[in-house]
Amino acid sequence: MKNPFASASAAILTVALLSGIAFPAVAQEAATPNAQLASRELNARVDALMRKMSLEEKIGQLVQYSVGAATGPDASKLSYDDLVAQGQIGSLLNVHGSDQVNHFEHIAMEKSRLHIPLIFGLDVIHGMHTTFPVPLGLASSWDPEMVKGVAHTSAVESRAEGVPWVFSPMVDIARDARWGRIVESAGEDPYLGAAIARAWVEGYQQNDLSKPDSVAVSVKHFAAYGAAIAGRDYNATDMSDITLRQVYLPPYHAAVEAGAATMMSSFNSINGIPASANPYTLTQILRREWRFDGFVVSDWGAVSELLNHSIGADGSTVARKAIEAGVDMDMEGGLYGTTLAAQVRSGAIPESVIDEACRRILRVKFALGLFDHPYIAPTPAYVATPEKRAQARKVADETIVLLKNDGVEGYGKLLPLGKSVKTVALIGPLADSQQDMLGSWGALGDAKNAISLRQALTERLGDHLVYARGVDVLYGEDEANLRHALGQPETPVWDEKQGIAEAVAAAQKSDVVVMALGENAVWMTGEATSRSNLDLPGHQEQLLEAVAATGKPVVLVMFTGRPSTIPWAAKHIPAIVEAWFPGIEGGHAVADVLFGDVNPSARLTTSFARDVGQEPLYYSQLPTGRPAHADLNHLPANGEEKFLSRYLDVNNSALFPFGWGLSYTTFRFSAPKLSAESIAAAELKPGSGAPVMVTATVTNTGSVAGTEVAQLYIRNTAASVEQPVRVLKGFARVALQPGETKTVTFPLGFDELSFYNAQSQRVVEPTVYKVFVGGSSLADLTTSLTVR
């Protein structure tokens, strides 16, 4: 359908063009993705309201403050109640529960001149009360339908708290494990990332914002926030337009196509232009090309932080640049409400720009039903019911990755633990931590509802479980300082030398040792938690080596928010499990996997480096003119070629690659087959379907039921622009009984075979594609497709 606001969008674009920014010629989308926001009835109500609004009231809709922060009242010398009554606030964040929500809504609906409700937002990242695994773990399930269910449960609980707007999902592509916010991402791949992004939006919004069990999303952080240079949070990003469009934008685009109601602009600059004042990304791409019809909110303080980016001498200038670029709402920046009106009256900002931003916000408020139902029923106390725990446990079961499972004398494969194991030693600083099970960004999750690994194993083993803490996640004094900074109960500085001795003694009493090691979820993962070293923090490596030296079989369980560098463990520890931060049922889920009640089916969505010096590391590297074998890592000898693209001290390859994950059974793939071995490029057009189908069989060759993740990769061997050595273009979870065979089918059409050329145009060219099918990015069964 025709975009009813095309003229206003064009006015903003004109402002951008007058700023001297040149945009490449790229085809525009044909229709607005969210039909609800574009409906005639809804927009008639918006237009009728806006005709009554003063300039100040329109600007008020563009202002958001956080309750508990002094930014708003300090900037205006008024209380929040006064600001709401005068129509100077459109949104509040960190407000939840019927007492708070209804207090502010009664003021807005009864005391403000036009009775416009507020919209309340909150960072609901992986659950509101019922805390599920962190997003990086959820993505490791390779199960978009499961993610959709998590989003829906979160929406129901958010609405009950009076929060109709969640600052989720984060869909940034993350290829550098040093970046702390990788924990909130779906990992390194744009195809998988797009599928997960779409699932989040569909689960949250239910394709109808007016439903009482749906919430509006805020897709973040637009754009390319995950490509911060050196993995340092808030740092600049610098990349070609091809890389931006081909790697970093697809998940955002998928979210917009799924009907995302709002987007959040990011802190970083992109090629020298801050993302929160960037007309190329916010207007040209988001609104002109993708026809996004929701509104954009800045990240916390991002508009005022434009001063630090040195693109304006004062608050008025940077506020003007942000609003004209396409940031509709100023989160905690304090500039829109204090500087825009004067600039409109002076002619520096066209009032049509304010009108369009206000209109976008009001559309979402009407779509959510806030004008008709502004108040909420009394908020009930949260109860982690058996049904909620069952969902959280099943989800966590699907997110745990078995990285290694070698044979051990007397046991065969060490996992799953069998009946011959009588006594288990549980050792490590994450073994008995309920708080760390929740992960970062836990919203209203309460650690008292979380099941630690110690609790879960005690339920199974009783007195046959021996526990020792060993060491802290950080060094003793650092751990004490951390607790003080977080307001947690202070504990005596831990004697780590004695703690290691106690751990060794516990191991010696056991048949098998389970080591629970990793990161502090709150302090070491999430926002502003970049790390320059990805080894196990503190003295955990020393603890691991001391326990392994006892000769007892060791299972290493990792509770982390990012890939870790664990080369020693990968060489010496027979079984390694990546559990991420698995949520309130995390302990039970890990125990399910350790004892074989659940056969692990998760697969990595991020590459595990051998050394931090490999970062950023990802499977879909561009080829070089001097390729080296991925496992070559020594000084040239015996006539070997020196001048190759490699390291002298570490393999090029990942320790554990993208798509990797083991099972308690084994699988066999057949070579892929194509429905056509050749196709004309002219047949491959947007929206024309998939003229070629790829099929392969998957067989469970083991003795227990299991689920394989079948993965399709392609390589373009003769493009006009260099393409990666392989890229993911399809996947499917395949559940198989022992001996069972199933056929998987993947489409190959314009969406899968196209790429961006040097003119930033998405095209298909005559070439030959290699097509791979297998169980990870190492898939080696291949065939070829010719595009003529």
Q: Please state, in angstroms and rounded to a whole number, the distance separating the CA atoms of residues 784 and 782.
A: 7
Q: Please state, in angstroms and rounded to a whole number, the distance separating the CA atoms of residues 772 and 783.
A: 7
CA 572 to chain centre: 32
Q: Please state, in angstroms and rounded to a whole number, the distance separating the CA atoms of residues 133 and 517.
A: 17
Bridge-partner residues for 753, per DSSP? none
Q: Please state, in angstroms and rounded to a whole number, the distance separating the CA atoms of residues 92 and 73.
A: 13
CB 440 within 8 A of CB 399: no
CA 523 to chain centre: 18
Q: Please state, in angstroms and rounded to a whole number, the distance separating the CA atoms of residues 170 and 221.
A: 6
Q: Please state, in angstroms and rounded to a whole number, the distance separating the CA atoms of residues 634 and 203.
A: 49
Cβ atoms within 10 A of the Cβ of 671, count? 13
Do the bridges between strand 727-736 and strand 781-787 make them parallel or antiparallel, or are there none, so unpaired? Answer: unpaired
Three-state DSSP state, 21: coil
Active site residue 299: yes
Q: What is the DSSP letter of 276?
A: G
Three-state DSSP state, 342: helix
CA 138 to chain centre: 9
Task: Indicate the length of the chain as a whole number.
Answer: 788
Q: Pull the structure tokens for residue 622.
A: 């561009």
DSSP labels, 659-689 = T--B-SS-EEEPPPEES-SEE-GGG--TTS-
CB 47 within 8 A of CB 74: no
Q: Please state, in angstroms and rounded to a whole number, the distance separating the CA atoms of residues 461 and 514.
A: 13
Q: Please state, in angstroms and rounded to a whole number, the distance separating the CA atoms of residues 603 and 709.
A: 8
- Distance in Å from the first CA to the final CA of the chain: 35
Q: Pull the structure tokens for residue 675.
A: 């429905």
Alpha-carbon separation of residue 760 from 242, 478, 788 (angstroms): 6, 49, 22
Rounded-to-10 torsion of CA 55, 61, 66, 71: -10
Q: Pull the structure tokens for residue 649.
A: 């001290």
Do the bridges between strand 706-716 and strand 762-763 make them parallel or antiparallel, or are there none, so unpaired? Answer: unpaired
Q: Answer positive or negative: Cα dihedral of 573, 578, 581, 584.
A: negative
CB 90 within 8 A of CB 123: no
Q: Which candidate in 176, 299, 330, 355 is catalytic?
A: 299
Show which residues are catalytic.
299
